[in-house]
Amino acid sequence: MKSKISGVHLVACLTLALGLTALADRVHAQAAEPAPAAPVIRTDSDARSDAAIAERLRRIFGELDALSAVRVRVAEGVVTLDGALPDRADLVRAEQIAGRVDGVVAVRNDIAASVDVGERVSPFLQKLTALLRSAVSSAPLLLLGGLVLAVFVAFGWWVASFSRFWRRLTPNPFVGELLAQAVRVTSAVAGIVLALNLVGATALMGTVLGGAGVIGLAIGFAVRDTLENYISSIMLSLRQPFRANDHVVIDGQEGKVVRLTSRATVLMTLDGNHLRIPNAIVFKAVILNYTRNPERRLEFDLGVDAEDDPEAAISTGVAALAALDFILDKPAPSGLIVTVGDSNIVLKFMAWINQGDADFLKARSGSIRAAKMAVEAAGFTLPEPIYRLRIDQFPDLARAINAPPSRDTPPPPAPAPAQAARAASDTMSVSPDVHIEATIAAERRDSGEEDLLSQERPIE
Protein backbone atom coordinates (compact mmCIF):
# COMPACT_ATOMS: atom_id res chain seq x y z
CA MET A 1 0.00 0.00 0.00
CA LYS A 2 2.90 2.37 0.83
CA SER A 3 4.66 1.70 -2.47
CA LYS A 4 1.44 2.37 -4.39
CA ILE A 5 0.89 5.72 -2.67
CA SER A 6 4.56 6.69 -3.25
CA GLY A 7 4.20 5.96 -6.98
CA VAL A 8 1.10 8.15 -7.23
CA HIS A 9 2.89 10.98 -5.42
CA LEU A 10 5.90 10.62 -7.75
CA VAL A 11 3.71 10.88 -10.85
CA ALA A 12 1.96 13.96 -9.44
CA CYS A 13 5.27 15.64 -8.66
CA LEU A 14 6.62 14.95 -12.15
CA THR A 15 3.44 16.33 -13.75
CA LEU A 16 3.64 19.49 -11.63
CA ALA A 17 7.33 19.98 -12.49
CA LEU A 18 6.65 19.63 -16.22
CA GLY A 19 3.80 22.11 -16.00
CA LEU A 20 5.92 24.68 -14.16
CA THR A 21 8.72 24.23 -16.70
CA ALA A 22 6.35 24.81 -19.62
CA LEU A 23 4.90 27.88 -17.92
CA ALA A 24 8.39 29.31 -17.30
CA ASP A 25 9.36 28.75 -20.95
CA ARG A 26 6.22 30.53 -22.11
CA VAL A 27 6.86 33.51 -19.85
CA HIS A 28 10.48 33.69 -21.00
CA ALA A 29 9.41 33.56 -24.66
CA GLN A 30 6.92 36.35 -24.11
CA ALA A 31 9.56 38.41 -22.35
CA ALA A 32 11.98 37.78 -25.20
CA GLU A 33 9.57 39.06 -27.82
CA PRO A 34 10.51 42.57 -28.90
CA ALA A 35 8.10 45.26 -27.77
CA PRO A 36 6.50 47.37 -30.48
CA ALA A 37 8.85 50.19 -31.39
CA ALA A 38 7.80 53.59 -30.13
CA PRO A 39 7.51 56.35 -32.74
CA VAL A 40 10.79 58.17 -33.22
CA ILE A 41 10.71 61.85 -32.34
CA ARG A 42 12.06 63.78 -35.27
CA THR A 43 14.59 66.59 -34.84
CA ASP A 44 13.33 68.77 -37.68
CA SER A 45 10.10 69.88 -36.02
CA ASP A 46 9.32 73.57 -36.54
CA ALA A 47 6.52 76.08 -36.31
CA ARG A 48 5.27 75.23 -39.78
CA SER A 49 4.72 71.57 -38.90
CA ASP A 50 3.06 72.54 -35.60
CA ALA A 51 0.69 74.89 -37.45
CA ALA A 52 -0.12 72.14 -39.97
CA ILE A 53 -0.96 69.69 -37.16
CA ALA A 54 -3.15 72.27 -35.45
CA GLU A 55 -4.96 73.14 -38.67
CA ARG A 56 -5.51 69.49 -39.47
CA LEU A 57 -7.03 68.79 -36.06
CA ARG A 58 -9.26 71.88 -36.22
CA ARG A 59 -10.70 70.77 -39.54
CA ILE A 60 -11.29 67.24 -38.21
CA PHE A 61 -12.98 68.48 -35.05
CA GLY A 62 -15.02 70.95 -37.08
CA GLU A 63 -16.55 68.11 -39.08
CA LEU A 64 -17.67 66.40 -35.87
CA ASP A 65 -20.55 68.18 -34.15
CA ALA A 66 -19.72 66.72 -30.74
CA LEU A 67 -16.06 67.95 -30.94
CA SER A 68 -16.55 71.30 -32.68
CA ALA A 69 -16.00 73.21 -29.44
CA VAL A 70 -12.53 71.77 -28.84
CA ARG A 71 -9.64 74.27 -29.07
CA VAL A 72 -6.24 73.05 -30.33
CA ARG A 73 -2.72 74.37 -29.65
CA VAL A 74 0.50 72.68 -30.88
CA ALA A 75 4.03 73.42 -29.76
CA GLU A 76 7.07 71.23 -30.55
CA GLY A 77 4.72 68.41 -31.59
CA VAL A 78 2.83 68.47 -28.26
CA VAL A 79 -0.90 68.91 -28.80
CA THR A 80 -2.91 70.69 -26.12
CA LEU A 81 -6.67 70.20 -26.24
CA ASP A 82 -8.86 72.68 -24.41
CA GLY A 83 -12.54 73.45 -24.07
CA ALA A 84 -15.66 71.92 -22.51
CA LEU A 85 -17.70 68.93 -23.75
CA PRO A 86 -20.97 67.59 -22.27
CA ASP A 87 -20.12 63.94 -22.85
CA ARG A 88 -17.08 62.38 -21.16
CA ALA A 89 -16.77 59.81 -23.95
CA ASP A 90 -16.06 62.67 -26.40
CA LEU A 91 -13.10 63.73 -24.26
CA VAL A 92 -11.45 60.35 -24.79
CA ARG A 93 -12.31 60.30 -28.48
CA ALA A 94 -10.75 63.75 -29.05
CA GLU A 95 -7.52 62.64 -27.42
CA GLN A 96 -7.41 59.46 -29.52
CA ILE A 97 -7.92 61.41 -32.76
CA ALA A 98 -5.16 63.85 -31.88
CA GLY A 99 -2.71 61.04 -31.14
CA ARG A 100 -3.22 59.53 -34.60
CA VAL A 101 -2.05 62.60 -36.54
CA ASP A 102 1.42 62.29 -38.03
CA GLY A 103 4.02 64.35 -36.23
CA VAL A 104 2.27 64.44 -32.84
CA VAL A 105 4.70 63.68 -30.02
CA ALA A 106 2.27 63.82 -27.09
CA VAL A 107 -1.28 64.91 -26.29
CA ARG A 108 -2.24 66.94 -23.24
CA ASN A 109 -5.98 66.73 -22.67
CA ASP A 110 -7.26 69.77 -20.78
CA ILE A 111 -10.86 69.39 -21.95
CA ALA A 112 -13.34 69.72 -19.06
CA ALA A 113 -16.76 68.14 -18.70
CA SER A 114 -19.36 70.81 -19.29
CA VAL A 115 -22.01 71.40 -16.62
CA ASP A 116 -24.08 73.77 -18.70
CA VAL A 117 -27.71 72.69 -18.75
CA GLY A 118 -28.27 73.82 -22.30
CA GLU A 119 -25.34 71.85 -23.66
CA ARG A 120 -26.49 68.70 -21.89
CA VAL A 121 -30.15 69.03 -22.89
CA SER A 122 -29.42 69.91 -26.49
CA PRO A 123 -28.18 66.41 -27.55
CA PHE A 124 -31.20 64.84 -25.91
CA LEU A 125 -33.56 67.19 -27.73
CA GLN A 126 -31.79 66.45 -30.99
CA LYS A 127 -32.19 62.71 -30.47
CA LEU A 128 -35.83 63.16 -29.47
CA THR A 129 -36.49 65.26 -32.54
CA ALA A 130 -34.87 62.65 -34.76
CA LEU A 131 -36.94 59.95 -33.14
CA LEU A 132 -40.16 61.90 -33.69
CA ARG A 133 -39.25 62.48 -37.32
CA SER A 134 -38.58 58.77 -37.72
CA ALA A 135 -41.91 57.95 -36.09
CA VAL A 136 -43.77 60.33 -38.38
CA SER A 137 -42.10 58.85 -41.43
CA SER A 138 -42.86 55.32 -40.18
CA ALA A 139 -46.47 56.12 -39.27
CA PRO A 140 -47.98 53.98 -42.08
CA LEU A 141 -45.95 50.96 -40.97
CA LEU A 142 -46.89 51.56 -37.33
CA LEU A 143 -50.56 51.76 -38.22
CA LEU A 144 -50.30 48.58 -40.27
CA GLY A 145 -48.51 46.80 -37.41
CA GLY A 146 -51.20 47.93 -34.94
CA LEU A 147 -53.88 46.71 -37.34
CA VAL A 148 -52.20 43.29 -37.59
CA LEU A 149 -51.97 43.06 -33.79
CA ALA A 150 -55.64 44.03 -33.38
CA VAL A 151 -56.72 41.44 -35.95
CA PHE A 152 -54.80 38.64 -34.25
CA VAL A 153 -56.08 39.56 -30.78
CA ALA A 154 -59.67 39.80 -32.02
CA PHE A 155 -59.33 36.45 -33.81
CA GLY A 156 -58.02 34.78 -30.64
CA TRP A 157 -60.85 36.13 -28.50
CA TRP A 158 -63.39 35.10 -31.14
CA VAL A 159 -62.08 31.52 -31.28
CA ALA A 160 -61.91 31.29 -27.48
CA SER A 161 -65.50 32.51 -27.11
CA PHE A 162 -66.91 29.18 -28.37
CA SER A 163 -67.29 27.74 -24.86
CA ARG A 164 -69.44 24.82 -26.01
CA PHE A 165 -66.75 23.66 -28.43
CA TRP A 166 -64.03 23.70 -25.77
CA ARG A 167 -66.26 21.89 -23.28
CA ARG A 168 -66.97 19.18 -25.80
CA LEU A 169 -63.31 18.94 -26.73
CA THR A 170 -62.09 18.51 -23.14
CA PRO A 171 -63.27 16.22 -20.31
CA ASN A 172 -64.26 19.04 -17.97
CA PRO A 173 -65.05 22.78 -18.22
CA PHE A 174 -61.96 23.79 -16.24
CA VAL A 175 -59.56 22.37 -18.83
CA GLY A 176 -61.73 23.82 -21.61
CA GLU A 177 -61.43 27.30 -20.14
CA LEU A 178 -57.69 26.78 -19.78
CA LEU A 179 -57.36 25.89 -23.48
CA ALA A 180 -59.46 28.90 -24.48
CA GLN A 181 -57.19 31.18 -22.44
CA ALA A 182 -54.13 29.60 -24.07
CA VAL A 183 -55.59 30.41 -27.51
CA ARG A 184 -56.06 34.05 -26.50
CA VAL A 185 -52.48 34.38 -25.23
CA THR A 186 -51.00 32.59 -28.26
CA SER A 187 -52.83 34.79 -30.74
CA ALA A 188 -51.75 37.95 -28.88
CA VAL A 189 -48.09 36.87 -28.85
CA ALA A 190 -48.22 35.98 -32.56
CA GLY A 191 -49.72 39.38 -33.35
CA ILE A 192 -46.98 41.19 -31.38
CA VAL A 193 -44.19 39.25 -33.14
CA LEU A 194 -45.62 39.90 -36.62
CA ALA A 195 -46.21 43.59 -35.87
CA LEU A 196 -42.64 44.11 -34.65
CA ASN A 197 -41.23 42.28 -37.67
CA LEU A 198 -43.37 44.39 -39.96
CA VAL A 199 -42.06 47.69 -38.57
CA GLY A 200 -38.49 46.34 -38.49
CA ALA A 201 -38.12 46.41 -34.69
CA THR A 202 -36.52 42.98 -34.44
CA ALA A 203 -34.02 44.21 -31.85
CA LEU A 204 -36.88 45.58 -29.77
CA MET A 205 -38.69 42.25 -30.13
CA GLY A 206 -35.67 40.41 -28.74
CA THR A 207 -35.46 42.86 -25.86
CA VAL A 208 -39.18 42.56 -25.13
CA LEU A 209 -39.11 38.76 -25.25
CA GLY A 210 -35.99 38.61 -23.06
CA GLY A 211 -37.48 41.01 -20.55
CA ALA A 212 -40.73 39.06 -20.56
CA GLY A 213 -38.79 35.87 -19.88
CA VAL A 214 -36.96 37.40 -16.93
CA ILE A 215 -40.15 38.91 -15.54
CA GLY A 216 -41.96 35.61 -16.02
CA LEU A 217 -39.21 33.75 -14.17
CA ALA A 218 -39.32 36.21 -11.29
CA ILE A 219 -43.11 36.02 -11.11
CA GLY A 220 -42.92 32.22 -11.25
CA PHE A 221 -40.68 32.12 -8.19
CA ALA A 222 -42.89 34.64 -6.39
CA VAL A 223 -46.16 32.76 -7.01
CA ARG A 224 -44.70 29.26 -6.89
CA ASP A 225 -47.27 28.05 -4.35
CA THR A 226 -50.13 29.53 -6.37
CA LEU A 227 -48.91 27.85 -9.57
CA GLU A 228 -48.51 24.52 -7.74
CA ASN A 229 -52.06 24.86 -6.44
CA TYR A 230 -53.35 25.72 -9.93
CA ILE A 231 -51.63 22.73 -11.56
CA SER A 232 -52.91 20.46 -8.79
CA SER A 233 -56.43 21.68 -9.55
CA ILE A 234 -56.00 20.65 -13.19
CA MET A 235 -54.74 17.18 -12.23
CA LEU A 236 -57.53 16.65 -9.68
CA SER A 237 -60.17 17.70 -12.21
CA LEU A 238 -58.76 15.11 -14.62
CA ARG A 239 -58.29 12.29 -12.11
CA GLN A 240 -61.50 12.79 -10.09
CA PRO A 241 -60.46 10.98 -6.87
CA PHE A 242 -63.88 11.63 -5.31
CA ARG A 243 -67.31 13.05 -6.05
CA ALA A 244 -69.75 15.32 -4.29
CA ASN A 245 -71.18 13.89 -1.02
CA ASP A 246 -68.37 11.33 -0.72
CA HIS A 247 -67.27 10.72 2.88
CA VAL A 248 -63.49 11.15 2.81
CA VAL A 249 -60.48 11.73 5.05
CA ILE A 250 -57.86 14.04 3.45
CA ASP A 251 -54.64 14.82 5.27
CA GLY A 252 -56.28 13.85 8.56
CA GLN A 253 -59.37 16.03 7.92
CA GLU A 254 -62.67 14.13 7.76
CA GLY A 255 -65.84 15.31 6.09
CA LYS A 256 -68.10 15.05 3.05
CA VAL A 257 -67.12 16.64 -0.25
CA VAL A 258 -69.03 19.76 -1.23
CA ARG A 259 -67.13 20.82 -4.37
CA LEU A 260 -63.75 21.04 -6.07
CA THR A 261 -62.72 24.56 -7.11
CA SER A 262 -59.68 25.87 -8.95
CA ARG A 263 -58.03 26.70 -5.62
CA ALA A 264 -59.29 24.35 -2.91
CA THR A 265 -61.39 21.29 -2.09
CA VAL A 266 -64.37 22.20 0.08
CA LEU A 267 -65.49 19.68 2.71
CA MET A 268 -68.32 19.79 5.20
CA THR A 269 -67.28 18.24 8.47
CA LEU A 270 -69.60 15.85 10.30
CA ASP A 271 -70.54 18.65 12.69
CA GLY A 272 -71.66 20.90 9.80
CA ASN A 273 -68.65 23.21 9.37
CA HIS A 274 -67.01 24.17 6.07
CA LEU A 275 -63.40 23.11 5.58
CA ARG A 276 -61.24 24.29 2.67
CA ILE A 277 -58.08 22.34 1.87
CA PRO A 278 -55.67 23.73 -0.79
CA ASN A 279 -55.57 21.50 -3.84
CA ALA A 280 -51.78 21.25 -3.66
CA ILE A 281 -52.20 19.44 -0.32
CA VAL A 282 -55.10 17.32 -1.62
CA PHE A 283 -53.13 16.19 -4.67
CA LYS A 284 -50.20 14.96 -2.56
CA ALA A 285 -52.20 13.67 0.43
CA VAL A 286 -53.41 10.14 1.18
CA ILE A 287 -57.17 10.12 0.57
CA LEU A 288 -59.43 7.66 2.43
CA ASN A 289 -62.84 7.37 0.76
CA TYR A 290 -65.54 5.63 2.82
CA THR A 291 -68.25 6.02 0.18
CA ARG A 292 -66.74 4.10 -2.73
CA ASN A 293 -67.43 0.73 -1.07
CA PRO A 294 -70.93 0.66 0.47
CA GLU A 295 -69.96 -2.18 2.81
CA ARG A 296 -67.92 -1.21 5.86
CA ARG A 297 -66.63 -3.21 8.78
CA LEU A 298 -67.17 -2.12 12.37
CA GLU A 299 -65.21 -3.47 15.31
CA PHE A 300 -65.09 -3.00 19.08
CA ASP A 301 -63.47 -4.55 22.16
CA LEU A 302 -65.27 -6.23 25.04
CA GLY A 303 -63.69 -7.68 28.19
CA VAL A 304 -64.77 -10.70 30.27
CA ASP A 305 -63.50 -12.11 33.53
CA ALA A 306 -60.22 -14.01 33.45
CA GLU A 307 -61.94 -17.16 34.81
CA ASP A 308 -64.63 -17.22 32.04
CA ASP A 309 -64.40 -19.26 28.85
CA PRO A 310 -63.40 -16.78 26.12
CA GLU A 311 -64.54 -19.03 23.25
CA ALA A 312 -68.01 -19.34 24.73
CA ALA A 313 -68.15 -15.57 25.23
CA ILE A 314 -67.12 -15.03 21.60
CA SER A 315 -69.81 -17.43 20.37
CA THR A 316 -72.42 -15.64 22.47
CA GLY A 317 -71.41 -12.19 21.23
CA VAL A 318 -71.22 -13.30 17.57
CA ALA A 319 -74.68 -14.86 17.83
CA ALA A 320 -76.03 -11.62 19.27
CA LEU A 321 -74.49 -9.62 16.37
CA ALA A 322 -75.87 -12.04 13.79
CA ALA A 323 -79.36 -11.54 15.22
CA LEU A 324 -79.27 -7.80 14.44
CA ASP A 325 -81.12 -6.76 11.29
CA PHE A 326 -78.48 -4.27 10.07
CA ILE A 327 -75.56 -6.72 10.35
CA LEU A 328 -74.77 -8.45 7.02
CA ASP A 329 -74.76 -12.23 6.80
CA LYS A 330 -71.89 -12.19 4.29
CA PRO A 331 -69.30 -11.55 5.50
CA ALA A 332 -70.52 -13.04 8.78
CA PRO A 333 -69.65 -11.39 12.11
CA SER A 334 -66.66 -12.81 13.94
CA GLY A 335 -64.64 -12.45 17.12
CA LEU A 336 -61.17 -13.17 18.44
CA ILE A 337 -59.09 -12.90 21.60
CA VAL A 338 -56.93 -9.76 21.71
CA THR A 339 -55.07 -10.18 24.97
CA VAL A 340 -55.23 -11.92 28.34
CA GLY A 341 -54.58 -9.74 31.38
CA ASP A 342 -54.31 -10.35 35.11
CA SER A 343 -58.01 -9.89 35.75
CA ASN A 344 -59.69 -9.87 32.33
CA ILE A 345 -59.66 -11.22 28.80
CA VAL A 346 -60.11 -8.67 25.99
CA LEU A 347 -62.22 -9.86 23.06
CA LYS A 348 -62.59 -8.12 19.68
CA PHE A 349 -65.83 -8.41 17.71
CA MET A 350 -66.11 -7.53 14.00
CA ALA A 351 -69.16 -7.22 11.76
CA TRP A 352 -70.09 -5.69 8.38
CA ILE A 353 -72.88 -3.25 7.56
CA ASN A 354 -74.27 -1.60 4.42
CA GLN A 355 -73.74 2.16 4.79
CA GLY A 356 -76.70 2.84 2.55
CA ASP A 357 -79.05 1.19 5.06
CA ALA A 358 -77.38 1.92 8.40
CA ASP A 359 -75.35 4.75 9.87
CA PHE A 360 -71.88 3.57 10.85
CA LEU A 361 -71.71 5.21 14.26
CA LYS A 362 -75.26 4.19 15.19
CA ALA A 363 -74.68 0.62 14.03
CA ARG A 364 -71.46 0.36 16.03
CA SER A 365 -73.16 1.71 19.13
CA GLY A 366 -76.05 -0.73 18.77
CA SER A 367 -73.68 -3.64 18.17
CA ILE A 368 -71.73 -2.89 21.34
CA ARG A 369 -74.94 -2.73 23.35
CA ALA A 370 -76.33 -5.98 21.93
CA ALA A 371 -73.08 -7.92 22.47
CA LYS A 372 -72.71 -6.62 26.03
CA MET A 373 -76.27 -7.52 27.00
CA ALA A 374 -75.98 -10.97 25.43
CA VAL A 375 -72.69 -11.76 27.17
CA GLU A 376 -74.02 -10.63 30.54
CA ALA A 377 -77.26 -12.59 30.02
CA ALA A 378 -75.24 -15.74 29.36
CA GLY A 379 -73.64 -15.47 32.79
CA PHE A 380 -70.30 -14.00 31.80
CA THR A 381 -68.89 -11.42 34.16
CA LEU A 382 -67.57 -8.16 32.78
CA PRO A 383 -64.33 -7.22 34.57
CA GLU A 384 -64.40 -4.58 37.27
CA PRO A 385 -61.61 -2.83 39.18
CA ILE A 386 -60.25 -5.04 42.00
CA TYR A 387 -59.27 -3.56 45.35
CA ARG A 388 -57.71 -5.47 48.30
CA LEU A 389 -58.95 -4.40 51.79
CA ARG A 390 -57.52 -5.48 55.16
CA ILE A 391 -60.33 -5.94 57.76
CA ASP A 392 -58.45 -8.01 60.34
CA GLN A 393 -58.90 -5.28 62.97
CA PHE A 394 -62.74 -5.26 62.57
CA PRO A 395 -64.03 -8.79 63.46
CA ASP A 396 -67.70 -7.82 63.41
CA LEU A 397 -67.41 -6.39 59.92
CA ALA A 398 -65.54 -9.49 58.77
CA ARG A 399 -68.29 -11.82 60.09
CA ALA A 400 -70.97 -9.73 58.37
CA ILE A 401 -69.15 -9.88 55.06
CA ASN A 402 -68.48 -13.61 55.27
CA ALA A 403 -72.11 -14.44 56.28
CA PRO A 404 -73.99 -16.54 53.69
CA PRO A 405 -76.53 -14.64 51.59
CA SER A 406 -80.21 -14.87 52.46
CA ARG A 407 -82.28 -17.29 50.40
CA ASP A 408 -85.60 -15.59 50.97
CA THR A 409 -85.59 -13.55 47.73
CA PRO A 410 -84.13 -15.49 44.81
CA PRO A 411 -82.46 -13.39 42.06
CA PRO A 412 -84.54 -12.76 38.94
CA PRO A 413 -83.86 -15.12 36.03
CA ALA A 414 -81.46 -13.75 33.42
CA PRO A 415 -82.85 -13.34 29.89
CA ALA A 416 -81.55 -15.55 27.11
CA PRO A 417 -78.77 -14.08 24.92
CA ALA A 418 -80.91 -14.02 21.79
CA GLN A 419 -83.72 -12.26 23.65
CA ALA A 420 -81.26 -9.70 25.01
CA ALA A 421 -79.91 -9.01 21.52
CA ARG A 422 -83.41 -8.60 20.04
CA ALA A 423 -84.40 -6.28 22.89
CA ALA A 424 -81.35 -4.13 22.22
CA SER A 425 -82.09 -4.09 18.48
CA ASP A 426 -85.74 -3.14 18.90
CA THR A 427 -85.03 -0.07 21.02
CA MET A 428 -82.64 1.72 18.64
CA SER A 429 -82.65 3.15 15.12
CA VAL A 430 -79.61 2.91 12.86
CA SER A 431 -81.04 4.65 9.81
CA PRO A 432 -78.50 6.93 8.04
CA ASP A 433 -78.47 10.60 8.96
CA VAL A 434 -79.26 12.53 5.76
CA HIS A 435 -79.02 16.02 7.22
CA ILE A 436 -75.45 16.61 5.96
CA GLU A 437 -76.33 15.28 2.49
CA ALA A 438 -79.38 17.55 2.31
CA THR A 439 -77.33 20.57 3.37
CA ILE A 440 -74.67 19.83 0.73
CA ALA A 441 -77.30 19.34 -1.99
CA ALA A 442 -78.96 22.65 -1.12
CA GLU A 443 -75.64 24.50 -1.15
CA ARG A 444 -74.60 23.03 -4.50
CA ARG A 445 -77.97 23.95 -5.94
CA ASP A 446 -78.12 27.51 -4.63
CA SER A 447 -74.44 28.50 -4.77
CA GLY A 448 -72.99 29.87 -7.99
CA GLU A 449 -69.42 28.80 -7.16
CA GLU A 450 -67.56 26.74 -9.74
CA ASP A 451 -67.32 22.96 -9.38
CA LEU A 452 -64.78 20.85 -11.26
CA LEU A 453 -66.31 17.52 -10.23
CA SER A 454 -68.17 15.70 -12.99
CA GLN A 455 -70.54 12.79 -12.55
CA GLU A 456 -69.72 11.60 -16.07
CA ARG A 457 -66.05 10.90 -15.44
CA PRO A 458 -64.94 7.70 -13.66
CA ILE A 459 -63.25 7.94 -10.29
CA GLU A 460 -59.60 6.97 -10.33
What is the four-CA torsion angle of 282, 287, 293, 295, rounded to 10 degrees?
-130
Which pLDDT score, from 0 to 100, does residue 43 have?
A: 56
Domain match, 370 and 299 both: yes
Domain contains 10: no
Check whether residue 104 and residue 143 sit in a common domain.
no
314 and 365 inside one domain:
yes
- How many folded domains does the chain comprise? 4
Indicate if 316 and 420 belong to the same structural domain: yes
State which of 189, 222, 255 marks the end of a domain.
Answer: 222
- Residues 273, 305, single domain; the answer is no
Look at residue 34 and tell me if it is in a domain.
no
Residue 1, pLDDT score: 41
**In degrees, to the nearest 5, what angle opens at C-alpha 238 toward C-alphas 237 and 244?**
45
Instruction: Give yes or no: residues 209 and 326 share one domain.
Output: no
102 domain-assigned: yes
**What confidence tens digit (pLDDT) does each residue in 357-399 have?**
899 999 999 999 999 999 999 989 887 766 666 666 656 655 6
Residues 167 and 202 in one domain: yes
Q: Is residue 233 part of a domain?
A: no
Identify whether residues 203 and 326 lie together within a single domain: no
pLDDT for the residue numbered 356: 87
State which residues form the domain around 322.
295-385+413-426
Q: Please tell me whether residues 325 and 417 are part of one structural domain.
A: yes
198 and 312 assigned to the same domain: no
Which residue ranges of the chain lie beneath pLDDT 70? 1-46, 114-124, 166-176, 201-209, 211-212, 220-223, 385-428, 456-458, 460
- Let me know whether 151 and 105 are in one domain: no
Q: Quick one: pLDDT at residue 7?
A: 44
Q: Is residue 106 in a domain? A: yes
- Within this chain, do residues 331 and 419 fall inside the same structural domain, yes or no? yes
* CATH number of the domain within which 301 lies: 3.30.70.100
